[in-house]
Amino acid sequence: MKYQSSDLVPHKSAPLFTPANILNEDVCLPAAVIKKTALENNIQWMQRYADARGVSLAPHGKTSMTPWIFQQQQAAGAWAIGVGSAWQASVAMASGIRRVLMVNQLVGKANMQLISQLKSAYPAVEYFCCVDSLDNARALSAFFAARNQTLDILLELGVPGGRCGCRTTAQALTLAEEIARLPALRLRGLELYEGVLHGDNPQPKVEALLRDAAALACELERYVDGEFILTGAGSVWYDVVCNVWLEAPKPANCRLVIRPGCYITHDEGIYLEAQNAILARDKTACDLGGDLASALELVAMVQSVPESDRAIVNFGKRDSAFDAGLPQPIAHYRAGKSRELAEKSIETTGIMDQHAMLKLAPGTDVKVGDILVFSTSHPCLTFDKWKALLLVDDSYNVLETLETGF
């Protein structure tokens, strides 16, 4: 049952004046904005990193689910876009993406049907999904064989206590043998996500998993015609993935693919920390020049200052991630003019569905109607709160409305 969407405002941060500037209150606040300069910087930086290492880049698109961003990533040289579901694959293909790496299992009749339809609708697009069980392999084989279609698959290697993926290389090899006997499935390589490894010092565990994967790839090589795809790496260990896999023995015709996602907007929270660790340990990242920059901001307005040390702003859990620390203010404007924001003078201490609570240090001058700009962490869960984000220049002029595909 559809409703007649208002002509007045197509989405919740729609600009209501033209041309629109965020600081001039031309846009319904709160709004999620993407700073174009930082976004372009990040797209270029990560592509240059991959190029410098001689690996392919398949940015994980689930972070932004923003077709315009997918297009920029592809135009800059991305080999593929990563996705997490059949629906996300459909958004990527509808956006003109030519290779879609679904780094997840494809399960259920409707999800398989959607992929089958996409393969018909976009015959030139290469699509991959992951398999880690014979049950799933058999279901996929039966479904696609009945439609005379072939499905390109990657075996997934996992870790005990982790997420999906075969738990041992022996299991993976057995599964590969069985897959080789099933119609409609074409094994193309090996996938893992080392980001599930945690703990005090996960790097040795990450490296061991990567070495195991390279050795497994050598054994799987005989089941793969043509190029062998070996892929891993979220935004935290992409340097280590390159280091280990570039050095390790691997299939002769092997394409290494890294899949960072959150680099696209970066943040000033968990991903800033991760990137700082990479810069501290990785020569290529250091020598590359420049760095990732925070590109996603939440712009909100003070709606109440009910106590001298307390202000309420008009964003909440409906607008922002809150699972990796609360959004914190990084800039303060009054009547379009920037004001000094002393460190810790304004701190977000609570969040409800439609409000956030700020603690004001003594003497901090905050008024109803002031605009505050917030950084958020992690980016994925801010993106998915918005039907559209606003692309802005460094002066917060709105350049484009970027629709999302959640």
Name which of residues 114 to 173 contact its own copies (CB under 8 A).
114, 117-118, 121, 132-133, 135-136, 139, 158, 160-167
Report the residue from 35, 49, 50, 67 that binds its own copies according to the rule CB under 8 A: 67
Q: Which span (7-15, 182-190, 223-231, 267-275) binds its own copies, by CB under 8 A? A: 7-15
Q: Tell me which residue of 175, 184, 233 sits closest to 209, measured CA to CA.
A: 233
Site for its own copies in 357-386 (CB under 8 A): 357, 367-369, 380-381, 384-385
The smaller minimum CB distance to its own copies, of residues 44 and 85, is found at 85
CB of 77 to its own copies, least distance (A): 20
Under rule CB under 8 A, residue 192 binds its own copies: no
Q: How far is the CB of 320 from its own copies (least distance, A)?
A: 11
Q: 283 vs 46, 158, 177, 240, 349, CA distance in Å?
A: 14, 28, 40, 11, 38
Which residues inside 25-54 make contact with its own copies, applying CB under 8 A? 25-29
124: how many CB neighbours lie within 10 A of its CB? Answer: 7
Q: Which of residues 285-324 bind its own copies (CB under 8 A)?
A: 301-307, 310, 312, 314, 317-318, 322-323
Task: Tell me if 77 contacts its own copies by CB under 8 A.
Answer: no
Chosen residue from 286, 354, 361, 365 binding its own copies by CB under 8 A: 354
Nearer to its own copies, 278 or 402 (CB): 402
Tell me the C-alpha distance between 48 and 320, whole Å.
30
User: Which of residues 3, 200, 201, 395 is near its own copies by CB under 8 A?
Assistant: 3
Closest to its own copies by CB, 276 or 354: 354
* DSSP states of 302-321: EEEEEETTEEEES--TTTS-
Among 149, 178, 355, 397, binds its own copies (CB under 8 A): 355
Long-range contacts of the stretch 282-285 (C-beta < 8 A, 24+): 282/239, 282/243, 284/49, 284/52, 284/53, 284/239, 284/242, 285/49, 285/239
Six-digit token string for 354 = 């439609």
What are phi and psi for residue 213, nearest 5 degrees?
-65, -40
Name the region of 330 (left: φ>0; alpha: ψ -120 to 50; beta: rest).
alpha
Structure tokens at 290: 């420049």
